[in-house]
Amino acid sequence: MNQEEAENCREDMEIDGNEPEMPAQRHADIIPDGFNANYLKAYYGKVFPHSDIFKWMCYGHDGKHPGCDPTYLSRREFSFTLDNDIYLRFQSYTSAYELESSIKEKCPFKIDIGPVYSVNPAKRHAYAQTGDNVFTPVERELIFDVDITDYDDVRFCCSGADICLDCWPLMTVAIKVIDTALRDDFGFNHILWVYSGRRGVHCWVCDGKARRLSNEQRAAITDYFRVYKGNENSNKKVSLVGPVLHPFLARSYTDVLRDFFEGKVLLNQNILSTEEKYEKILEMIPDESVAAELRGKWQEKRKAKDDINVVRWEQLKSLLHSGKFKHIQGLRRCIEEIIFSFTYPRLDMEVSKHMNHLLKAPFCVHPKTGRVCVPIDPNNCEEFDPTAVPTLSQATSARTQHERFES
Amino acid sequence: MQSLGTRRVNHQNDAVAVAVAGAASTLPLYRSAPPLEVRLEDFEAFAVDRLRVLKAISDGLSRGKKPEEMKNLVDELLKTHMSHPKPSEAVNKDVISHFVLRLVYCRTEDLRKWFLSMETTLFRYRFKRESAEAQRALMADFNLPYKAVNTAEFESVKDKLGQVARSIGQPLLTADAIFYKVPFEDVPELVAGRRVYIHRGNAYVAMNQVVSLVVTQFRSFLSKALILTNRKWTSSIKEQEKDRLTPIVEVLSTSYLGPDYSQPRESAEISLKDIDHLAKSSFPLCMRHLYDKLKEDHHLKHGGRMQLGLFLKGVGLKLDDALAFWRAEFSQKVGAERFEKEYAYNIRHNYGREGKRTDYTPFSCQKVISSTPGVGDHHGCPFRHFSEENLRAALGGMGVGNRGMDDIIDKVRNRHYQVACTLTFEAVHGSSCDAGINHPNQYFIDSQKILQSKNQPTT
């Protein structure tokens, strides 16, 4: 497959979604939806963008420029998960042809990309763990993983691996907050966001500066992003101390989180509509007398013109702003804390902190959903619809249609 | 640092003697081992005194002492253990003891990590005590290339800088406040704590935060130096000194860190059927909670598996029994096949039977306290993370009465988590624990000691 075909095929994957009626389907055309190992072979044969992945991984060290490091690609770890859960780590390649052939031949269910090591990972046993001649990661993209199951305590429409268009916007918010900070605060430019195929998003920061960050620096960036701390045993999981918020948090709040909460979350998730739900919010208010006053108001069955969630939220806000409770400690940031709890990005800390963490490659197919892990444009992330992402069968059959049309 | 002649070298090139405004600093940077002559008795004695300081700092940190308390602690410790009427003698002791301890603590990853952490903390507090000129001079000595922010730029970011200052409880900015513009990579601590304004990759560091810059450099330098020292130790020093320094070095490291419980004592084997009973009688709260959750959910996330799994290893659970234990629980949730595929490997890994075959050591209280559980996690220290209500319920479940409860909660409010755990131990067992709890396995062993002595038949 040449470059042009690869371009065309990617466009096909974005547009294609509704197959027109096909009257006389030939047997080979009836491709089951979801994941199917046989069609994976066709996918890797015709659709997967091998040469683009190769170009990306080379970062310019493709042997065609002076000053290239010919060993660069071969020091990158790839790992394949095959059928039967066979797991091949420390795979390395020295050319585009090798990489492509290996993928087509082995037909992995999942391809992970690891770090660039000091030496070819396939030869790692020849090197020591310590001392001069060491086998250790030297470059690795700064990566982030956001998984919607980490928000299960604040979404009521789905749980576990399910997603829908009511809770997916949490991912949109995560992208906006993190992407803005990566560019404006940290000065990174080469950022790729990818749909994880089922219930989350991945982020790859590819600037040279990012790839050369140490584990400690990665941990520092991750902690900079961290707000949510806690689990079912602590009452308040977001604690915003201090008279004002750090500019990063303040910007995230005013530009993204507040409007998202008041515009979407309140209504889509109906978070104040029933006693069981509003008790969770009341639990986040550190003063019992305030909570009690609100509880009193909300226990009355009132017929409201407007949506009950909006009405109650306004009541909560005006009570906290009223100055009646100004003297009470810890109430100052209560509203922000509630909003942050429901909307602020929750990152998987461990993924980002270590250089040797493997992450699934873009354009893989998710084995449980059959969906292709497609890139997401952060500038248009609100338009992204995870339920309309091409599946393996759609992508492969589109390609097959395309070929037939051409011939 | 062998005895190279009797010349007392003026190693003031090592301790920065600042000529600026007569502000003299005796804070050494430990750049190179001074060619001094050291008596063998002093070799050990100096090291022991410094080790007392480092160990006390370690205890202070794990008890959750606040910065103000730590500052006082460090002042006390230096006065008690490291002072000398003649300042040059004090500096000698300072430098010599540091380099001896490098030999002691270079030899494994854990030792290096601990030593690095404590020396860096000590350096941080000592740096903060220095005058502003001395600090500036030390900064120069580290060759830090950072520029102060000029007036024009300051005006443009003043609001944001003020916002950051207020958000971390600092006083309002004065018009002549000095800020340094530093690549964010160089101040990871400040970035992590959101204590600086960052824009397009540059952090704006206040004068009083400069300590962070210097400490990062100090730490990085010492970390590399320790690796080099280890290499030299392994390749030549250990053998050359086997009759003189090596025995001293080897004793010094074990005697002060305390046992790491990585090798359970021969008599301390427990079997599968004992676990349930032992969990109720002798597990500290952190492990009891993990155990209860495991029984309830038939699952634990990675952090919990590590914390509980290594604890059980330290308590004497053999690998086969450990596999059976985890399999019995997990297979109820994920099935036996998935257990073998996804979890058994990691259990064997923890026992040093897979991969790079490191034998992992059970977590100390310091490590448990410093880990932060996230969504769906149950590890970490319950005294730190549980809400008061949940903590009271959990302690009640362990058998702590009302009176003891209030003392414990009081300690928790003041962030003395290990003291709270010690009081819990005392309440549950009805006897005192003078040494204080520093390690979950220590809690277990001490508990078993008491229970077994109660079971002795009385004649």
Residues 333-352 of B with CB under 8 A from A: 341
Q: With 90 as the cut, is the pLDDT of residue A359 above it?
A: yes
Choose the closest CB to A186 out of B168, B192, B198: B198
Nearest residue in A to B390, CA atom? A233
User: Within this chain, do residues A88 and A143 fall inside the same structural domain, yes or no?
Assistant: yes
pTM over 0.80: no
A217 touches chain B (CB under 8 A): yes
Cα distances (Å, whole numbers) of residue B281 to B239, B429, B431, B444: 48, 9, 14, 9
Q: Which residue has the tokens 């928000």?
A: A151
Q: Do A213 and B231 touch (CB under 8 A)?
A: no
Nearest residue in A to B216, CA atom? A216
**Which phi and psi (to 5°) does residue B19 adopt?**
-85, -15
What is B88-150 written as a DSSP string?
HHHHHHHHHHHHHHHHHHTSSHHHHHHHHHHHHHHHHHHHHHS-HHHHHHHHHHTT--PEEPP
- Distance between alpha carbon A7 and the CA centroid of its chain, in Å? 24
Active site residues of A: 77, 145, 147
Is residue A24 a part of any domain in this protein? no
Q: Which residues of B are annotated as a binding site for [4Fe-4S] cluster?
A: 286, 365, 381, 421
User: Within this chain, do residues A206 and A326 fall inside the same structural domain, yes or no?
Assistant: no
User: Within this chain, do residues A144 and A194 fall inside the same structural domain, yes or no?
Assistant: yes
Q: With 70 as the cut, is the pLDDT of residue B7 above it?
A: no
Residues 172-191 of B with CB under 8 A from A: 184-185, 188-189, 191
B387 touches chain A (CB under 8 A): yes
Domain with CATH 1.20.930.80 in chain B: 40-140+217-253
Per-residue pLDDT tens over the stretch B106-153: 888 778 888 999 999 999 999 988 887 787 788 778 877 788 888 899
**Which phi and psi (to 5°) does residue B23 adopt?**
-85, 105
Q: How many other β-carbons are positioned within 10 Å of the β-carbon of residue B73? A: 18
CB B37 within 8 A of CB B3: yes
Instruction: Spell out which residues of chain B touch residue A235, defining contact as CB-CB under 8 Å.
Output: 387, 389
Is residue A141 a part of any domain in this protein? yes
Instruction: Spell out which residues of chain A touch residue B377, defining contact as CB-CB under 8 Å.
Output: 231
Q: Which residue has the tokens 């810059």?
A: B213
User: Within this chain, do residues A98 and A204 fall inside the same structural domain, yes or no?
Assistant: yes
The helix (run of H) or strand (run of E) holding residue A202 is: strand A200-205
Is residue A19 a part of any domain in this protein? no
Number of domains present in the structure of chain A? 2
Residues of the domain holding A252: 247-343
User: Within this chain, do residues A50 and A100 fall inside the same structural domain, yes or no?
Assistant: yes
CB B204 within 8 A of CB B101: no
Alpha-carbon distance of B417 to B64, in angstroms, equals 7
Alpha-carbon distance of B311 to B356, in angstroms, equals 21
Query: A-B interface: how many C-beta pairs under 8 angstroms?
Result: 99
Q: Which fold has domain B40-140+217-253?
A: Transcription Elongation Factor S-II; Chain A (1.20.930)
**Strand ordering across the sheet containing B179-183:** B147-148, B179-183, B202-206, B197-199
User: Within this chain, do residues A263 and A352 fall inside the same structural domain, yes or no?
Assistant: no
A131 touches chain B (CB under 8 A): yes
Choose the closest CB to A234 out of B199, B356, B387: B387
Three-state DSSP state, A81 = strand
Q: Do A213 and B193 touch (CB under 8 A)?
A: no
Q: Do A233 and B382 touch (CB under 8 A)?
A: yes
Q: Do B167 and A242 touch (CB under 8 A)?
A: yes
A134 touches chain B (CB under 8 A): no
Alpha-carbon distance of B326 to A49, in angstroms, equals 42
DSSP 8-state code for residue A347: B
* Residue A60, phi-psi category: left (phi > 0), alpha (psi -120 to 50), beta (remainder): left
Instruction: Spell out which residues of chain B touch residue A349, defining contact as CB-CB under 8 Å.
Output: 374
pLDDT on residue B13: 36
A242 touches chain B (CB under 8 A): yes
Residue B452: exposure state from Cβ atoms within 10 A (0-12, 13-18, ≥19)? exposed
Which of A343, A369, A391 finishes a domain? A343
User: Within this chain, do residues A69 and A111 fall inside the same structural domain, yes or no?
Assistant: yes
pLDDT on residue B22: 32
Is residue A23 a part of any domain in this protein? no
Nearest residue in A to B159, CA atom? A247
Measured in angstroms, the CA of B231 and the nearest CA of chain A are apart by 7
Q: With 50 as the cut, is the pLDDT of residue A5 above it?
A: no
Is residue A368 a part of any domain in this protein? yes
Which of A313, A343, A373 finishes a domain? A343
Domain with A358 in it: what CATH number? 3.90.920.10
Paired strand residues for A139: A116
Mutation site, A83, A184, A185, A218, interface B, largest B CB count within 10 A: A185
Q: Which residue has the higher pLDDT, A397 or B320?
A: B320
**What ipTM was reported for this prediction?**
0.86
Per-residue pLDDT tens over the stretch B269-281: 788 888 999 999 9
Q: Average of pLDDT values for A343-369? A: 94
Is residue A166 a part of any domain in this protein? yes
Q: Average of pLDDT values for B401-411? A: 88
User: Within this chain, do residues A135 and A76 fall inside the same structural domain, yes or no?
Assistant: yes
User: Within this chain, do residues A187 and A75 fall inside the same structural domain, yes or no?
Assistant: yes
Q: With 90 as the cut, is the pLDDT of residue A159 above it?
A: no
Alpha-carbon distance of B242 to B248, in angstroms, equals 10
